[in-house]
Amino acid sequence: MLQDTTPKEPSAMPIPLIDVFAGPGGLNEGFSSLIDAAGEPIFQTVASFELDPWACETLKLRSAVRHYRRIDRVAPSSYYEFLRSGGRGLADLKVHSEMAVGFKEAESEVVCMALGPQTRPESDHIIESALQRHGGKDDWVLIGGPPCQAYSLAGRSRRKGDPTFADDHKHVLYKEYLAILERFRPSVFVMENVKGMLSSKHAGGAIFQSIRDDLSSAGYDLRSFVIPGSDPSPSDFIIRSENYGIPQRRHRVILLGVRHGTTLDSAGVLEEAMAPVTVEQAIGGLPRIRSMVSPRNRDSEVEWRRARDTAWLIAGRSGGRTAPTPDIGAAYLDEPAGDIVGELGDWLLDDRLGGVTLHESRAHMTKDLMRYGYLAQKAVMGERPKLGDLPDELVPNHKNARDVNAPFTDRFRVQVSGQASTTVVSHISKDGHYYIHPDPVQMRSLSVREAARLQTFPDDYFFVGGRTQQYHQVGNAVPPLLARQLGEVVARMFGRKVDTQRL
């Protein structure tokens, strides 16, 4: 084979990036994946701030992996062994000779602390020295959004009449963000939040307008990632993920802030994907697994089959047809994942993995198994019963289950194969009723890996912690593949050409 002797353009220095309220690093993963034609990263994370210790461990692990990808293009084989073992032995991995230097760097990059007025002197000092070390006090990028529970529509309805709501400190956590902008003046910031931020009120005033005024006084213009031009209207900040190749209908407010007087190129906008990506495309190739019957010590395949047969019988009785019943047995975690074609496949799959991690089913009570089997079977037939439409045997024992005006009547929801999924939120860590797998044979809620795929985390992205913490982290994140596209817009503003390959 002939060697490519075309001289490569020398790479510019990476643009320093600081990630605040970093979660498991979804936003960061997208920005960090961008490389130029010479294979050099366009952004380099110099500090990530996060409060949750599990998410911090996830951030450190990923940061260590990136360290080696920057140098050798691949992660060390000990990392893949760790993944194949289902994430056992993190303490050993941290001191393994192949990974120790990466973890050392990660320890200084990931700052596990609560940002807030009391800790501001400490966080300021960390930001100051991180920027100094990376020569970037002028041109750098701030990413991340203050936590959103207080703005979220569900949070607001649950807390109607709660007198502490107006004083919730999360209303004012964005002030920490503002303080960083005022003191350190990044050239660009990207702030993500829930849609409720546009309509939320605090002390009688509209939060969004006051945030906008604050940002303008701090010296920033706001741009939209989807509508070109200056002075966008509030709805122009809403990004609908499903329009950008993400297999999920996640609608979030994402602000692009540009410092007054910067000489950056004007921001382009995101390019819409040619076709929507579906649940089936994202998770259909993963190995089939059997849900466990809870309690786990009483789990048995006989009990599981009984639940399935009953669920299908009930679905058939109410006018349905029955799906075939392949023998799927127990979990096959060592099976390689099926191929996903196109851009999503290139992004998610990793040949070196040779299998799939974090793909185990929760255990479900027999009644829930039956509900899942029944509802998935109905979804195959194009029906979508609400809580109150469930047959008597399956309706939960709630006083108002059949009341059409009761809240959360669609508390059980099957993700439809041929569409993008509904929004994956951190509530998935509490129960899986809203995330029922579309395959009636499997009769279960989504695994962590399936939720991660709908969020477009690559298959080699590992979430540290127990299963609850893993779901929580996945549900909190910005989809990395969307973040990559946001990063491309920002890279172009800095005049950087992005390669199609990833780090």
Q: For residue 352, give Cα distances in angstroms to 72, 76, 459.
A: 15, 10, 10
Using the rule CB under 6 A, which residue among 34, 56, 75, 115 binds ligand SAM? Answer: 115
Q: Which of residues 13-42 bind ligand SAM (CB under 6 A)?
A: 21-27
C-alpha 179/C-alpha 176 separation (Å) is 5
Q: 177: which residues sit within 8 A by CB, 6+ positions away?
A: 20, 142, 144, 145, 146, 189, 191
Q: Cβ of 226: how many Cβ atoms within 10 Å?
A: 18
Q: Which long-range contacts (CB under 8 A, 24 or more apart) does 54-57 make?
A: 54/463, 54/464, 54/465, 54/469, 54/472, 54/473, 55/22, 55/23, 55/24, 55/25, 55/469, 55/473, 55/476, 56/110, 56/112, 57/90, 57/464, 57/465
Q: Indicate the residue among 21 and 79 with the shorter CB distance to ligand SAM.
A: 21
Q: Indicate the residue among 139 and 168 with the shorter CB distance to ligand SAM.
A: 168
Note whether 333 binds ligand SAM by CB under 6 A: no
Note whether 57 binds ligand SAM by CB under 6 A: no
Please report how close the Cβ of residue 56 comes to ligand SAM at its closest, in angstroms.
9
Please report how close the Cβ of residue 150 comes to ligand SAM at its closest, in angstroms.
11
* 11-31 burial: b if 16+ Cβ within 10 Å, else e: eeebbbbbbbbbbbbbbbbbb
Q: Indicate the residue among 244 and 312 with the shorter CB distance to ligand SAM.
A: 244
Closest-approach residue to ligand SAM (CB): 23
Note whether 498 binds ligand SAM by CB under 6 A: no
Q: 37: which residues sit within 8 A by CB, 6+ positions away?
A: 8, 9, 497, 499
Using the rule CB under 6 A, which residue among 46, 55, 282, 490 binds ligand SAM? Answer: 55
Site string for ligand SAM, 433-472 (x = CB under 6 A): ----------------------------------------
Q: Indicate the residue among 364 and 484 with the shorter CB distance to ligand SAM.
A: 484
Three-state SS annotation for 216-238? HHCCEEEECCCCCCCCCCHHHHE
Q: Indicate the residue among 8 and 169 with the shorter CB distance to ligand SAM.
A: 169
Instruction: Write the DSSP string, 161-211.
Output: T-TTGGG-GGGGTHHHHHHHHHHH--SEEEEEEEGGGGT-EETTEEHHHHH
| Widest Cα–Cα separation across the chain | 74
* 252-272 burial: b if 16+ Cβ within 10 Å, else e: bbbbbbbbeebeeeebeebee
Please report how close the Cβ of residue 478 comes to ligand SAM at its closest, in angstroms.
4
Please report how close the Cβ of residue 132 comes to ligand SAM at its closest, in angstroms.
22
Tell me if 289 sits within 8 A of 360, measured CB to CB. Answer: yes
Please report how close the Cβ of residue 112 comes to ligand SAM at its closest, in angstroms.
9
Using the rule CB under 6 A, which residue among 16, 102, 136, 147 binds ligand SAM? Answer: 147
Q: Indicate the residue among 442 and 456 with the shorter CB distance to ligand SAM.
A: 456
Using the rule CB under 6 A, which residue among 36, 52, 242, 360 binds ligand SAM? Answer: 52
Cα 181 to the center of its chain, rounded Å:
25
**Side chain identity at residue 500, one-letter code:** T
C-alpha 290/C-alpha 304 separation (Å) is 9
Using the rule CB under 6 A, which residue among 12, 51, 172, 406 binds ligand SAM? Answer: 51
The CA-CA-CA angle for residues 310, 314, 319, to 5°, reads 150
The DSSP 8-state label assigned to residue 34 in this structure reads B
Note whether 489 binds ligand SAM by CB under 6 A: no
Total of residues contacting ligand SAM (CB under 6 A): 23
Please report how close the Cβ of residue 469 comes to ligand SAM at its closest, in angstroms.
11
Please report how close the Cβ of residue 170 comes to ligand SAM at its closest, in angstroms.
7
Please report how close the Cβ of residue 477 comes to ligand SAM at its closest, in angstroms.
3
Q: Indicate the residue among 108 and 310 with the shorter CB distance to ligand SAM.
A: 108
Using the rule CB under 6 A, which residue among 71, 100, 101, 114 binds ligand SAM? Answer: 114
Among 278-286, 356-364, 441-449, 476-484, the segment contacting ligand SAM (CB under 6 A):
476-484
Note whether 49 binds ligand SAM by CB under 6 A: yes
Q: Indicate the residue among 192 and 459 with the shorter CB distance to ligand SAM.
A: 192
Site string for ligand SAM, 151-190 (x = CB under 6 A): ----------------------x-----------------
Three-state SS annotation for 328-348? CCCCCCCCCCCCCCHHHHHHH
Note whether 196 binds ligand SAM by CB under 6 A: no
Cα 408 to the center of its chain, rounded Å:
24
Q: Which of residues 380-439 bind ligand SAM (CB under 6 A)?
A: none
- Residues of the shown chain interacting with ligand SAM in the complex, contacts defined by CB under 6 A: 21-27, 49-52, 55, 114-116, 144, 147-148, 173, 192, 476-478
